[in-house]
């Protein structure tokens, strides 16, 4: 079963906090996900509408791959630390809904 982690957040308006957000991502998140990309089958992308709202989409092919990230203590610590660098964070865990086959 596919599983998605959906993160929705607002970028900080303060230049200094936004600078810290980029720095944290470059120094911590990028290396983490580069490492995980070798272990886990996942598609990641980020989307924005230009209003300061960002949506990050992490789609996992299997529940096992999802668990290798979501259940990873390092991931949980990074997300907790990252959340101080953004505003209004919402996290959703999504799975496919029942699909009605075409007739």
- Tens of pLDDT along 27-85? 999 999 999 999 999 999 999 999 999 999 999 999 999 999 999 999 999 999 999 99
**Structural domain boundaries, residue 8:** 3-94
28 falls within a domain = yes
Number of domains in the chain: 1
Residue closest to 93 by CA, chosen among 101, 78, 71: 71
Angle between helix 73-82 and 30-37 (nearest 10): 150
103 falls within a domain = no
How far is the C-alpha of 52 from the C-alpha of 64, rounded, in Å?
33
Structure pTM? 0.85
35 falls within a domain = yes
How far is the C-alpha of 13 from the C-alpha of 38, rounded, in Å?
34
37 falls within a domain = yes
100 falls within a domain = no
41 falls within a domain = yes
């Amino acid at each position: 079963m596919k599983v998605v982690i959906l993160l929705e957040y607002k970028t900080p308006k303060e230049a200094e906090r936004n600078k810290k957000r980029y720095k944290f991502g470059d120094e911590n998140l990028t290396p983490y996900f580069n490492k995980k990309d070798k272990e886990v089958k996942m598609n990641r992308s980020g989307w924005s509408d230009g209003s300061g709202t960002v949506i990050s989409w992490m789609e996992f092919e299997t529940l096992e791959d999802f668990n290798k990230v979501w259940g990873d203590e390092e991931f949980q610590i990074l997300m907790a630390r990252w959340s101080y660098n953004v505003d209004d964070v919402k996290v959703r865990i999504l799975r496919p809904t029942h699909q009605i086959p075409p007739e």
